[in-house]
Amino acid sequence: MKNLIFVFLLFACATKRDYLDNGRKYYDSGMYHKAMEEFQLGLKVNPANADLNIGLKRSQDKIYEVELLKVRDSRLAGDPMTALQKIRELDKNMREWNLNTDINGSEFRKTELEKLLLNLKGYLASDLEKGFVLKTHKTLTSFRDVLGPIDGYQVYENEIIAKGKEKCTQIIIDQKFYNIFTSKYCEYFGEGHNIVISTDEELYKFDGASYIIDNIKVPGANYIASSRLYNSNGKQGISSKTKLHFSYNEKSSNPSKTTNYTDQESYWTTERETYWVNEVYYAKEMKCNYLNTYNPCQMITAKKTRTVPKFRDKKVKKYRDVSKSYTFKVRQVDQNLRLTGQTEITIDGKKVIVSHNFYETYSDYEHNESSSLKGLRPKNLSLKDVQNWKNAFIQRVTSDLYYQVHNHWRAKYCKKSGSPVDQGEFMMRCALVASDNEPFLDEWSQNFSGLAYKEMKELLKI
């Protein structure tokens, strides 16, 4: 029994020593992750082993040091953004690898972060000099989780916020007509500002649109009134009068149509047929007569019959599928619908003429797939179908009118003219209305370069 206990203890000690030796070998070879795994396995067997604990701690510290060297290499390459991202990824990996190291607060890490903060300040200096204070602040705060513990971080952020407040004060004094932008900008940096100028009364008042088709007045789709260009208290009125002529004609023709079908046809072929016949043949056989005691058996030739196969060719009739086609004449009716006319738009006391020429063609057998009118059958147009067709084109006319007025409004207010107060507010409105058109925004940025255009666009979400 004592011998058995001794063998067990010897085996256990050998196991601990193997984990320790393997871990040290991996560590000396630079395989720090493998070394850490060996030490962790050994500690599961003997958690109190001091050598295993020391080895695990050294491996974890070394892993982190190696990763920090990669961060330093990125910083020295002049890429502080990548270096900061590597530190963020390293912190994430530390949690996933379950590393427990004190190097997080080491001088090495602290020194690297301080140098990265200096590099980042140099990287952002150009934007800050151009007046992109908001952009600079957002870039800095995006790395708050990494640089936040550094003493210089809060000092640098306070410097940027102070510049933002200075810019807010300058905007209020020099460019106070940018009320929407100024209010949001100052609010971001903790400064209050009230919007005191309203431009609703400067917008157009929509008086409606009338449509006359063949001297008959029809209701129109007045969704223009929902545009941001119009307000019920507007000083100037916009109205439009549209006169259209509807024409309809049919053109018949007799084109040829070809139909393909499958039919069966018969044909003769020769097949080999097998049949059986009886055949006579002679064979030697022994015949015995036991009454003849002297010579009872004698060899004789016997006549016999057998069945044998024979072959012959025979004609048979078979059927097969064949493809056929036939051509025939059909009567085709093309239905041509056309809407022509013009619209007179009154805007700012001036009249603008817009011409219209819309048409569609429908056929009994062919339908124009590019037609913008969906839901109409390609044949047998009823009176209701024709009326729907008219209404669809009225909506297209109304859409054309909207863009005519919209373009007129932008041409009037998206240029640097007029008094600074009115012009500045209308330029803001222009940017809001034309938010889907980058050239207009770029023009605004060029005309009023004193404001950071990218900051304005981000704040107003346009």
Q: What is the pLDDT of residues 306-361, one digit of tens each?
A: 898 888 888 989 888 999 888 877 777 777 778 888 888 888 778 888 888 877 77
Q: CB under 8 Å to 169, separation ≥6 — which residues?
A: 191
Q: Are residues 42 and 119 in the same domain?
A: yes
In sign, the C-alpha dihedral spanning 263, 266, 267, 272 is positive
Residue 63 lies in a domain: yes
**Of 275, 213, 283, which Cα lies nearest the Cα of 248?**
213
Model's pTM, two decimal places?
A: 0.40
pLDDT recorded at residue 200 = 55
pLDDT recorded at residue 56 = 86
| Phi, psi for residue 79 in degrees, rounded to 5 | -125, 80
Q: What is the mean pLDDT of the chain?
A: 73
Does 461 have pLDDT greater than 90? Answer: no
Q: CB under 8 Å to 379, separation ≥6 — which residues?
A: 333, 362, 363, 364, 365
Residue 2 lies in a domain: no
Please compute the mean of the pLDDT values over residues 35-58 and round it to a whole number. Answer: 86
Q: Are residues 445 and 299 in the same domain?
A: no
User: What is the domain extent for residue 316?
Assistant: 256-329
Residue 131 lies in a domain: yes
Q: Are residues 49 and 145 in the same domain?
A: yes
Does 35 have pLDDT greater than 60? Answer: yes
Residue 7 lies in a domain: no
Count how many domains the chain has: 4
Q: Are residues 320 and 424 in the same domain?
A: no
Does 264 have pLDDT greater than 80? Answer: yes
pLDDT recorded at residue 156 = 93
pLDDT recorded at residue 159 = 92
Residue 11 lies in a domain: no
179 neighbors 169 (Cβ within 8 angstroms):
no
Instruction: Give 156-197 pLDDT, tens digit per residue.
Output: 999 999 988 888 887 776 654 455 567 777 777 877 766 554
pLDDT recorded at residue 429 = 52
pLDDT recorded at residue 155 = 92
Q: Are residues 303 and 356 in the same domain?
A: no
Q: Are residues 31 and 129 in the same domain?
A: yes
DSSP tag of 104:
G
Residue 13 lies in a domain: no
Residue 1 lies in a domain: no
Q: Are residues 382 and 243 in the same domain?
A: yes
Least confident interval from 55-64, 320-329, 407-416: 407-416
pLDDT recorded at residue 428 = 53
Q: Are residues 378 and 431 in the same domain?
A: no
Q: Are residues 298 and 380 in the same domain?
A: no
Q: Are residues 151 and 66 in the same domain?
A: yes
Q: Are residues 246 and 391 in the same domain?
A: yes
Instruction: Give 280-290 pLDDT, tens digit per residue.
Output: 888 888 888 77
Residue 10 lies in a domain: no
Q: Are residues 31 and 140 in the same domain?
A: yes
Q: Which residue, of 310, 329, 348, is where some domain finishes?
A: 329
pLDDT recorded at residue 427 = 53
pLDDT recorded at residue 410 = 64
Does 379 have pLDDT greater than 60? Answer: no
